[in-house]
Structures are given as C-alpha cells and as structure tokens.
C-alpha cells in the first residue's frame, strides 16, 4: 500500500508539472516572435526572420538544409529571399500551438499553407503545407533555440 501511495504522489506531481500553464505574457511574447517570421517572409526581410534566434540556434529547413547560429540563418535567408521562384505566392498560418516543456522552454508548433510557389524551372509547385517546430528557451528573454520545418505538398504535384 505504501508503494502505491508513493507512486500516486510521484505521478500526480509529474502530471501537475507537465500541465503547467503558459502565462499570458509569455504567450504574447512568443506569438509576436512567430508573427515576425511570418511577416518577414511576406516582406522578404532576413534580419526580421532571424531576429529571435539565439546565437547558437539549430535550424533545419524543409529540404534538409541545416545551419547553426543566428548569423548563419540570416545569411541563408538573405539568399532564399532573393530567389523569385521560392518567394512567389502567398503564405497563411493555419494553426499555432504552444506546449510547455519546462519552466524555461516552450515548444511552438505552427502550420503554414502556401499557394503559388514555384519550382526553380518556374513551373507551379502546387499548394504546400509546412509544419514548424520551434523550441523557445528563456534566459533573459524568449529566443528560438531550435527550428525544424517539415514539408507536405499537394498530391497534384508530381515532385515531392
């Protein structure tokens, strides 16, 4: 009986710890930072897109290109934003979820629907859906420590 009681107390504490609410202030700060990324894609501003990454952040895009650090991410996005075929079309965020991992870390999962993007031969890519997994870590402020983008495209597109 004593072992069961200890297990119940441990599991109860674990569930409480993992179901911590995210404060309104933290939610607002993080959502604004995700909004900056979305805005940056619309206006082709690599500095704004990279603004909230930590200096040692880990970034991997939907095509498997990886880089480490805010400076490398901004440099990469500067090149991407100059590619007319990539920047063709329009994006819309379709969902956003925040999940507390610990007191100082929050996982943000968002989905983006993009229409009108093209392939490098200027042919239509079809509708594209990307999912962004961002790990925000708070030291003095919330910054992106890791960002992984996955890609799902329309079944009407022959190239995936």
In this predicted structure, the answer to whether residue 157 has a pLDDT above a threshold of 70 is no
Give the sign of the dihedral formed by CA 137, CA 63, CA 127, CA 88: positive
| CATH class of residue range 24-153 | alpha beta
| Mean local confidence (pLDDT), 94-112 | 96
Please name the residue that has the structure tokens 């990454």.
53
Higher pLDDT, 84 or 134: 134
pTM value? 0.80
Residue 54 Rama label (left phi>0; alpha psi -120 to 50; beta): beta
Q: What percent of the chain has pLDDT over 70?
A: 82
Higher pLDDT, 160 or 47: 47
């Amino acid at each position: 009986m004593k072992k069961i009681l200890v297990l119940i107390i441990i599991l109860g504490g674990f569930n409480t710890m993992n179901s911590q609410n995210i404060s309104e202030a933290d939610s607002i700060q993080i959502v604004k930072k995700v909004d900056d990324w979305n805005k940056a894609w619309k206006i082709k501003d690599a500095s704004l897109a990279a603004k909230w990454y930590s200096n040692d952040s880990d970034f991997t895009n939907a095509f498997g290109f990886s880089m480490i650090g805010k400076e490398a991410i901004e440099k990469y996005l500067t090149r991407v934003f100059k590619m007319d075929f990539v920047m063709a079309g329009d994006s819309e965020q379709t969902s956003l979820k925040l999940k507390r991992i610990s007191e100082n870390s929050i996982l943000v999962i968002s989905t983006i629907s993009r229409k009108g993007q093209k392939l490098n031969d200027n042919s239509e890519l079809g509708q594209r859906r990307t999912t962004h997994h961002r790990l925000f870590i708070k030291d003095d402020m919330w910054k992106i420590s890791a960002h992984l983008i996955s890609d799902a495209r329309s079944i009407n597109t022959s190239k995936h």
